[in-house]
Amino acid sequence: MSGRARRHAAGRGRGRGARRPVGPERGTGLRSVAGQVFALEALIALLVIVAAVLVTLHQARQDTERDARIRSLAVAEAFAKAPGVDEAVTSPDPTTVLQERAERTRLATGVDFIAVLDTAGRRYTDSDPSLIGRMATGDLTRASVDGESFTELFRGAPNDAVRAVVPIEDDRGRIVGMVTSGIEVESIAEAVEGRVPLLAGAAAGALVLAVGGAALVSRRLRRQTHGLGPAEMTRMKEHHEAVLHAVREGVLIVGADRRLLLANDEARRLLGLGAEAEGRHVSELGLDPRTVELLESGRTATDEVHRAGDRLLAVSVRSTVPDGTASGSVMTMRDTTELAALSGRAAVARGRLQLLYEAGVRIGTTLEVVRTAEELAEVAVPRFADFVTVELLEPVLRGEEPPPAEAGAAEMRRTALSGLRPEQPLQPVGDMVRFQVPSTPMARALATGHAVVEAELASAEGWRAQDPEGAAQALAYGMHSLLTVPLLARGVVLGMANFWRADTPEPYGEEDLSFAEELAARAAVAIDNARRFTREHAMAVTLQRSLLPRVLPEQNAVEVAYRYLPATAGVGGDWFDVIPLPGARVALVVGDVVGHGLHAAATMGRLRTAVHNFSTLDVPPDELLGHLDELTGRIDEQGAAEAEGGNGRRREEGITGATCLYAIYDPASGLCTMASAGHPGPAVVGPDGRVEFPALAPGLPLGLGLGEAPFEATELRLAEGSKLVLFTDGLLEDHGRDLDTGYGLLGSTLASPDRSPEQTCADVLATLLSPAPRDDIALLVARTRLLDRERIAEWDVVRDPSAVSPVRNAAAEKLADWGLEGLAFTAELILSELITNAVRYGADPVRVRLLYDRRLICEVSDGSSTSPHLRHAATTDEGGRGLYLVAQYAERWGTRYGRRGKTIWAELSVGPQGAEPEVPTPDLDALEDLAW
């Protein structure tokens, strides 16, 4: 039966969601055929089992009674013929002789009683002593007179029993007495009742098996009949027959012997079969030989086209038994004569839909304008065009807004070209294409905003007038048809797409216009998205580069090289910095803000500015990260509050995640102190090329609010010439590469001594950089230097005012050794003020240090944490001008706090620009008496 016939039949009879026939609902329970079969089978099984149990019990009783007769007779005969019994019976006191003997025999044989009687029936012995001497009931003449041994079902006192009676004969054959033995009926009943539990269990098991088997059969029948009752099955058959003969598909059912079993009305009409066709062999029906061969072979077929007279039939054949054994088959057929004419157009439409689907998948895979145009050209060749050219406006290529159509569509730049052959007569990519003749297909398409078809290029006067020489070459090449369509997005022209045919003989027609416009519309959206991304990416890169350091500050502590590369998906929030610190030290910073785009770049700028501001406090790295973490939390809270206030700002404007690594290197001691806020630690390359990744306390990213001191500092002693390599995770992680693999590649790349920081940056990027990095990369390489020990001078100072002058004089001598006599007075003045105040108001130990780097640095340290501050003393004040004088004479000054105590420092310029200011020369000894 065909699929359509089966659907009709299922809809009439049993299909899910189909209308049910008018009448009673589908049978459930005992109303269905399966339920009735189950009830009948269960009833039959129950009756059979009950009958079997009754027969078995009756048979068991008979068997037990027969066994009792045999046992009773055997015991009686054995006792009657036992030696001495005949003599005991004729003795004067038989009871005394035989009672005990009879009782032992009864117990040994398991019978219920043994009694010895005289010929008249009087008891000599009995199992019940009270019966001795009494007459036994019943007819005993068969034994006492006839001498016959017999058994009988005895009903009498004391109980009914199966009794055996055997005569006792003496040596001469005379009957001198009788022996009776038997088993009471109650014992027989008890023996039968002992079998009842076994019979009941067997009966119950048999009943369960029978009911279970009936249930399985019923379930199978229910699946086959779908729970229908007899009336419903009859009605379904009637409906099935009605549907089978009413459908517009022909149905043939052929038996295993290849004889026709059934043909519906449509099959008879299509194949020209008469009423006598059923029962005949398929080879005798006058069918097409191919159709006969298909039916005789028994193979499966789907929509094979067979001829029947002047008709074309789509034939499908299925076996009636799906397991492949020899069986009949069902053939369905439908008339496709009219559909054949439409098949060509349907195939074309199907191909166009498939092409549109592929265009949606293949166009716009990247956010690059040029690549998107190339994908449009590639997807249309060869299924829609032999050659495709794409021209875009210049502002679109740069990511800018396209001009109005009337202002900027007169010329475009060819951006993509694809074709069946590499050689072609069209203008190459990069050329400017102008549309100056209004009658060209391109100009008309731009004017109307719709696709324009030029079926015969040879007769296109406007196109030929635009570029006569190029048109002649194209026609000579074989170009014969053109379809041009503008690329429109949001109602604005972005460019043009031109589809050319040369090898395909059919020209473009009006039916191709809608497809071309749909294809161009999808491509235009992808191009506009790429243009927008290009613009935003350029803006973000510009912002990012404006926020990053353009020129690194001059300092002597380290030799620095750096690289910053934005991700292809968009600029992110990676940054680096080199910040000179007092005491000839330098701070190296690398950070990373989660995300990409303008928001990440702006957030990076805020954090970088905050790091610069906090570095002026000259605090250790862990304290600086604590301040930065607190600031980040406040920024997030402010962003959340503004978002709740409904002023239009989004929550994303907070800092959603940022990491930072802050390191301070002191060239005077070679000590590097660093702390991390969730950022990867640095790599340290020794002068011998050995690479280490020191373990840092990782800390957590900024903004999580874990308290005032969530970070820990780590100290490293670096040899001169070591390289400190700081980086962001974008350098290590990339497509198909995890963090551990990245660390391995970085370590092997850095393991080469005698390379400058600049060369190290180049080698690292050459090894680890992928063609399209998915994240920003910031890389900072700093080669350490040590300050010459000859340019460091240190003195311990006792807390006595008289100790100031010796230290001041020693400092003057050291300045003379360094050739800085011009700074001697200023340095002595500053040292006098700083040492005097440390002696008066500080705490032990007091130390003085001079550093000669790019500047002369004077440092006075003491054990007190009291913070000095600048005051302006009145003319009548005796003190208070110390720090004021230091601020006037020093280029910079400040206070740095350590774990114990503080250091007040001042810097003096070295060189012609640092000449001493023209101020009155005070008495240095008198200055020692001044206070802050």
pLDDT > 50? residue 874: no
Task: Strand 683-685: give its sheet, edge to edge.
Answer: 558-565, 777-784, 723-727, 683-685, 691-692
Read off the pLDDT band of 112 (50, 70, 90): confident
Tokens describing residue 822 = 């011009």
Q: Give the whole-angstrom CA distance, residue 549 versus residue 751.
A: 28
Query: From CA 419, how far away is CA 421, in angstroms rounded?
Result: 5
158 pLDDT band, cuts 50/70/90, is: low
Return the higher-pLDDT residue of 79 and 875: 79
pLDDT for 922: 46
**Residues 6+ positions from 913 with CB-CB distance below 8 Å:** none
Residue 655: the pLDDT is 54
> Residue 344: what pLDDT?
57
Residues 334 and 265: their CA atoms lie apart, in Å, by: 12
Whether 929 shows a pLDDT value over 60: the answer reads: no
pLDDT at 775: 79
Q: Quick one: which of 696, 683, 695 has its CA closest to 752?
A: 683
Q: Are 115 and 130 in contact (CB under 8 A)?
A: no
246-275 pLDDT tens trace: 777 888 888 888 888 888 888 888 888 887
**Cα–Cα dist 607/613, whole Å:** 10
Question: Which has the closest alpha carbon to 585: 191, 219, 903?
Answer: 903
Averaged pLDDT of the chain: 81
Instruction: Please check the confidence at residue 391 and state whether its pLDDT lies above 50.
Output: yes
pLDDT-derived band at 562, boundaries 50, 70, 90: very high
H-helix or E-strand spanning residue 666: strand 658-666
Beta 481-489 vs 492-501: how paired, if at all? antiparallel
For 573-599, how does the pLDDT look when each residue is reduced to its tens digit (9 = 90+)? Answer: 788 999 999 989 999 999 998 877 677
Lowest mean pLDDT among 115-124, 220-229, 304-313: 220-229
What pLDDT, in 10s, does the model give residues 608-628? 899 999 998 888 999 999 889
859 has pLDDT over 70:
yes
**Structure confidence at residue 203 (pLDDT):** 73
**So what's the pLDDT on residue 44?**
84
Beta-carbon count within 10 A of 33 CB: 21
Residue 409 pLDDT grade (very low, low, confident, very high; cuts 50, 70, 90): low
> pLDDT tens digits for 546-561?
777 777 888 889 999 9
pLDDT band at 17 (very low <50, low <70, confident <90, very high): very low
Contact assessment for residue 665 and residue 560, using Cβ atoms and an 8 Å cutoff: no
pLDDT digits (tens, 9 = 90+) for 446-500: 888 899 999 999 888 889 888 889 899 999 999 999 999 999 988 889 999 999 9
Q: What does the pLDDT read at residue 274?
A: 82
> What band does 534 get if pLDDT is binned at 50, 70 and 90?
confident
User: If pLDDT is split at 50, 70 and 90, which confidence band does 277 have?
Assistant: confident
Confidence of residue 389 (pLDDT cuts 50, 70, 90): very high
**pLDDT tens column, 766-785:** 888 877 677 788 999 999 99
Pick from 282-291, 691-700, 852-861: least confident = 282-291
Rounded average pLDDT over 832-858? 88
Helices (H), 450-557: 461-466, 468-477, 513-547
Tell me what pLDDT residue 193 has: 64
Residue 5: pLDDT above 60?
no
Residues 597-611 have a mean pLDDT of: 82
In this prediction, what percent of the chain has a pLDDT beyond 90?
Answer: 23
> Is the pLDDT assigned to residue 349 strictly greater than 50?
yes
* 635-683 confidence digits (pLDDT tens): 767 666 665 655 544 444 445 678 999 999 999 999 999 999 989 999 9
Please tell me the predicted confidence (pLDDT) of residue 683: 95
What is the reported pLDDT for 916?
Answer: 46
Residue 873's pLDDT is what? 45
∠ CA 906-915-921, rounded to 5°: 80
Q: What is the DSSP letter of 687?
A: T
The residue ranking higher by pLDDT, 486 or 307, is 486
**What's the mean pLDDT in 340-369?**
78
Q: What is the mean pLDDT of residues 17-45?
A: 61
Name the DSSP class of 737. B
